Chain A
C-alpha cells in the first residue's frame, strides 16, 4: 500500500543553550496514521512537536507538510498543547476558548461571528462538553479542560493534529472519549500525532509509533517495531512490556 507522506522532517536539530535536545532527526510520517511519540522524560518529545509547529526555532533542519514548507501549510495543522501550559484561572468561558480555534482562519482583526460560534458549539458537542459551554474555565475538571483543548483543535478542521500528552491527568472516561475521537479522526483520513507516556496502551490506541530519545530510535507500524529491543534502546534499561498482538 503506497501512502502519501504527510510530514517530512530532515536533519532537525534543536538545542537549548548549547545542549542538544533533538539531534539530527529524519522522520517521515505517512498520511492517515495515528502515531504515538514515546520516549523518556527529556527525550525531546514536546520539543519535536513545537519545532514542527514553529513555536521553537531549530538550529538546523527543515519541516515540510505535504511537500511544502510548514509556514505555507498552517491551515492544515491543529495543535493541542499540554494542559498545564496555560493559566486556567483566565477570565473566560469554555465556549470562548473553543472559539479561539477559529481565529487562525479569520486572520487579523476580523471578529468571530455566527458561523464560528456554530462550529465551536458543534466541537463542544463532539467532546461531550456542550452543557458546560458557559462555564468559567477554572471551574472545569482536568479532564474537562483537556476536552476543551481538544474541541478547540477540532474547530480548526485541520488535516494533521498534534497533541502534547492529551491523556495526562485525565480519568478513564475522558481517556476513552478522547481516544475514540482520535480514532474517528484517523477514520476520516486525518493524521494524528500524539506525545504519549503510557506504554501499556500504545498497541491498543495507535497504529504507528516513533521512539525518540534525543535521536530518533525507530519509527514505523506498531505491530512491526513496538518491541523490547526498541524499548530498551529508547529507555536504556531492559524494558519488558507485554505486547498485545
Chain B
C-alpha cells in the first residue's frame, strides 16, 4: 500500500488504512517516539503514545495536504508533537483525547502513586491492615493469619479506616 492509498483510506475512515500505515511506518513512528523519549521509565508508555498517534492520524487525516509536503514529513511532525505533549505531562489520558467534558484523574508519568498518604490518619492496627490489604495485595484471610485476628475484624478495620480517611480527605 503506497502513501496515496493510505491517505485515501484514512480520509475515507477505512480501518484497513492501519494495515498500510503500520507496515510502512510502524517502525518509523516508534523511532520518532523513542528519539523524544529516552528513559526506560518513559518508554514504558510507548504503546499508549503510539495509540494516541494512530488516533490523531485517523482523526486529522483530512488536514493532510499533499501540495504542502510528503505524508512521511506530516506524520513525523505529528508524532513528534504528540510525544512532546505526552512527556510534558499533558497525557492526562482522557483529558487530551479531544473529548469535551471528560476529565480523568490519572497520575503524572513520574508521580508517586503511593497509597500510604491516606494511611496517616489511621491507628497503628488499621495502618497495618491497610498496608497489607491495599499496598501488598494480601487477602483478608492472609492478613488475619499474620496479625492474629479474626477475618471479621479485618473487614471491620477496613470499613472504619475508610470512613476515617473520608473524613480527613
Q: Do A and B bind each other?
A: no
- Give the B-binding residues of A (Cβ under 8 A): none
- Give the A-binding residues of B (Cβ under 8 A): none
